[in-house]
Structure 1
Amino acid sequence: MHIYHKYLFKAVFLQFIAVLATLTGIVWITQSMRIVDLIVNKGINFLDFLKITMLLVPYLVFIIIPVALFFSGISVAYKFLLDKEMIILKSIGLSDFQIAKPFLNLAILIVCLSYIISCYALPLSYGKFKDLQVYFRNNYASILLEEGVFSSQVNKLTLYVDKKIDEKTYGGIVVYDNREVNNPKVVFAKEGKIFKSQNNSWFELYNGSHQEKNISGDGLSVLYFDKYSINFSLFEEDYIRTIEPNEKYITELFDISPDEESKRNKLISHGHFRLSWPLNSLALMMLATSMLITNRYQRKEGVYRNLAVGILGIGFIILSILFNNFTLHNLNFAVLMYLAPVALMMFALIRFKRANNL
């Protein structure tokens, strides 16, 4: 590997890592802010919160990689043009395509990494993310309770609390128990506390009443109590967690079971998205290098050329997302998700060839 190749490869690689880390961090923080209330008001342990949000990182990285690589390529190429280093490389006899090779080699490696994420890391991490959501739902009962709000997150059970006294204690509690459809019950309590063990959690109510219809069906039967317990885990036995497309491996997305026939388009289109999206990394890098390296640099035109390349790249990304949305409604559009990056690569190769440098 030539010295210039190592030099360019290292420069664009470091820039890519910096841009990827920055964009991923911004998006991760934005996503995390949606559930920060789990720590502040719901009693979720900070380490658990960090764990569940970190499991989203492979998904975020998979989406952001083409964008980060594209703008890294533009940034490094523009810097080399400004510093006249590109002119020096051309003056020693290197063709535009030879100069672009370090950029493209990195893009190929990133495409391979994206496929590893798409085929393995993404479904694995996202599946664990959804499993943790269910775990918190079953083991952090405080998530179910919000002041002045009727909550029906527990199957066949509606909860209401008037106020939160401390982390585990609530006042003014109403429970509507509809486990027995023909015999619903209503429980009122002055106060209640949440307890949890390794396997389940329960709500212990104090100083209240339990009301239900008489067996004869005439009037209400009222039972006053000093203490009454509701085991939350008992209400989740019939809960069936649906598997989202991001949790499925590529082969599973195209192997539609009879139970998922209604989601056929959604699953198959997501499978095509997971297969086609990594190609955008190479396509966008080829666009950036073919537009910036194959032309003589003029300082006055540099900013406008960079802006034009950026707009073209963003337009291409939007077009790729639109093709994915079209595929949701008609699977015949799936071919466009592959044709778009291939067409962009061909455009870049034509530019290199026209410059008589390929």
Structure 2
Amino acid sequence: MGQLVAYIVRTAAGPCLFVTMVLTGIIWIVQALRFVDEIINYDMSTGAFLYISFLLLPQLLPVTMPIGLFCGMLYAYWRLSADSELVVMRAAGLSRISVAKPGLLLGGICAVFVASMTFYFMPLANSTMRDTRFAWKYIYSTIVLREGAFTPLKDNLTVYVSERRPGGELHGLLIHDDRDPGKAVSMMAEQGTMIRSDEGPKILLLNGNRQERDLKTGDVSLLYFDRYNLETDVFSAGTPIRRQKIEERNVAELFTTSSDDVGAAQISKYRAEGHRRIALPLLTIAFALVAVATVLSGEFDRRGSWKRLWLGCIGAGVLQGAVLGLLQAASTEPILIFVLYLVLFGAMGICVYLIRSGAGLRSVPASTAEAAG
């Protein structure tokens, strides 16, 4: 029996891993492209970009692994059925539950893995990713200056950069400063660079001029300079405080946070996110049951088996859509949480019934099994 379990698990694990990796890779590439803009504007290093992109995986795997598990197990059991191996197993005296156990064991392993992602690694990765992006935006790069655009750094301070080069080097700067109510200052420089100091961020201007106009008298003064430090004072109250989002909180915090801490309007979103972390591992088990029930329910008939295959795929799609839709709607209608668990456990119960019921694979005579072998 142990060899049989290992054989079925090995047969299903390969396709499951392959489909999961393909789906995760496709979604990962699409999601990682969002950070290309930060690489350009924040001078983010390639290592930091890869590090942030890697932190997306704990968010993607709980979504892609149930689908990969369903496809892998459906393929494995379908192959066993097409090769008449299931007929031999049934002729050897194995019940439908015994044949289904290896698939359910693999489903349980995947469910534990998904639970580890949703309960621990997902909030940790979200928090680490936001900390890293925050550091590059406000500490390492200090100020975002977009190439070929007028960038307001603060009220009454606008900077235009014609070209940005690696290392934070700026070319073709035009700065208009109206922070002093009594005068307007315009500066032009051939080159510049961002520098950080204890007093705050500054822009070092090279080879330019400074024009100052007194708003009361209208007098204009012109100053040519080789080097000039412009204090930007972007953050008058210091670096902004990064606030923790829902995705960064663990399950215990999602269920124990009170409305006094986050407000009555947000508390339902916290609870819905907590139930989402629980529902995804349960969905993994449900998908494993759907895949097994698709093959083991119904008589062994090559001509009619395609119908069950399509019904199983449609059923898995409907289940996935229902779970995701209920999770989305539960943030505004908490009563739908009950419906969510009813759908999940109801689907599991139906699959177990189909596997155990008399509509499964029929026992065949030993002579038939020998002929099939």
Q: TM-score range by the shorter chain?
A: 0.7 to 0.9
- Listed one character per residue, the Cα deviations across residues 317-336 of structure 1 (whole Å, up to 9, x for unaligned) are 11111101211111111122
Aligned to 1:105: 105
Q: Is the 8 A contact 1:192 1:203 kept in 2?
A: no
Aligned to 1:263: 266
Cα distance change of structure 1 residues 141 and 177 upon mapping to structure 2, 3 Å threshold: farther
Aligned to 2:352: 349
Cα distance change of structure 1 residues 165 and 272 upon mapping to structure 2, 3 Å threshold: closer
Greater shift, 159-168 or 111-120, is seen at 159-168
Q: Is the 8 A contact 1:288 1:309 kept in 2?
A: yes
**Rounded Cα–Cα distance in structure 2 between residues aligned with 1:166 and 1:56:** 29
Q: How does 1:154-193 map to 2 (within 5 A)?
A: 159-164=158-163, 166-167=165-166, 168-175=168-175, 187-193=186-192
- Equivalent residues, number: 354
Q: Is the 8 A contact 1:202 1:233 kept in 2?
A: no
**Rounded Cα–Cα distance in structure 1 between residues aligned with 2:3 and 2:155:** 68
**Rounded Cα–Cα distance in structure 2 between residues aligned with 1:301 and 1:188:** 79
Aligned to 1:247: 248
**Rounded Cα–Cα distance in structure 2 between residues aligned with 1:253 and 1:212:** 56
Give the CA deviation at 1:184.
9.5
**Rounded Cα–Cα distance in structure 2 between residues aligned with 1:211 and 1:183:** 10
Q: Name the amino acid aligned to 2:95.
A: S
- Listed one character per residue, the Cα deviations across residues 194-242 of structure 1 (whole Å, up to 9, x for unaligned) are 345799864322324375876xx77688674631234678567251223
Return the index of the structure with the highest Cα Rg: 2
Describe the SS at the equivalent of 1:351: helix
Q: Is the 8 A contact 1:137 1:143 kept in 2?
A: yes
Greater shift, 121-130 or 57-66, is seen at 57-66
Describe the SS at the equivalent of 1:189: strand
Q: Name the amino acid aligned to 1:191.
A: E
Cα distance change of structure 1 residues 196 and 333 upon mapping to structure 2, 3 Å threshold: same
Aligned to 2:134: 134
Aligned to 2:96: 96
- Listed one character per residue, the Cα deviations across residues 251-287 of structure 1 (whole Å, up to 9, x for unaligned) are 1112136341142222221111111121001111111
Aligned to 1:288: 291
**Rounded Cα–Cα distance in structure 2 between residues aligned with 1:266 and 1:7:** 43
Give the CA deviation at 1:337.
2.2
Q: How does 1:33-48 map to 2 (within 5 A)?
A: 33-39=33-39, 43-48=43-48
Describe the SS at the equivalent of 1:284: helix
Q: Is the 8 A contact 1:127 1:247 kept in 2?
A: yes
Query: Once superposed, what is the RMSD of the aligned Cα atoms?
Result: 3.2
- Listed one character per residue, the Cα deviations across residues 59-114 of structure 1 (whole Å, up to 9, x for unaligned) are 11122221111111111111211222222211211111111101111111222222
- Listed one character per residue, the Cα deviations across residues 294-350 of structure 1 (whole Å, up to 9, x for unaligned) are 223333333332222111101111111110121111111112222211010011122
Q: Name the amino acid aligned to 1:298.
A: D
Aligned to 2:326: 323
Cα distance change of structure 1 residues 350 and 221 upon mapping to structure 2, 3 Å threshold: farther
Describe the SS at the equivalent of 1:355: coil
Greater shift, 52-61 or 289-298, is seen at 289-298
Describe the SS at the equivalent of 1:330: coil
TM-score, length basis structure 2: 0.83
- Listed one character per residue, the Cα deviations across residues 39-74 of structure 1 (whole Å, up to 9, x for unaligned) are 467632111110011011111112222111111111
Q: Name the amino acid aligned to 2:78.
A: Y
Q: How does 1:64-83 map to 2 (within 5 A)?
A: 64-83=64-83
Q: Say if 2:21 is the partner of 1:18.
A: no
Cα distance change of structure 1 residues 95 and 341 upon mapping to structure 2, 3 Å threshold: same
TM-score, length basis structure 1: 0.86
**Rounded Cα–Cα distance in structure 1 between residues aligned with 2:106 and 2:336:** 30
Q: Name the amino acid aligned to 1:292.
A: V
**Rounded Cα–Cα distance in structure 2 between residues aligned with 1:84 and 1:92:** 13
Aligned to 1:145: 145
Structure 2 residue runs of 5 or longer lacking an equivalent are 362-373
- Listed one character per residue, the Cα deviations across residues 2-27 of structure 1 (whole Å, up to 9, x for unaligned) are 21111111222222222211211111
Structure 1 residue runs of 5 or longer lacking an equivalent are none
**Rounded Cα–Cα distance in structure 2 between residues aligned with 1:213 and 1:62:** 62
Q: Is the 8 A contact 1:138 1:236 kept in 2?
A: no
- Listed one character per residue, the Cα deviations across residues 147-187 of structure 1 (whole Å, up to 9, x for unaligned) are 233445x5658654342153233334344668x69789765
Describe the SS at the equivalent of 2:189: strand
Q: Is the 8 A contact 1:110 1:281 kept in 2?
A: yes
Describe the SS at the equivalent of 1:282: helix
Q: Name the amino acid aligned to 2:4.
A: Y
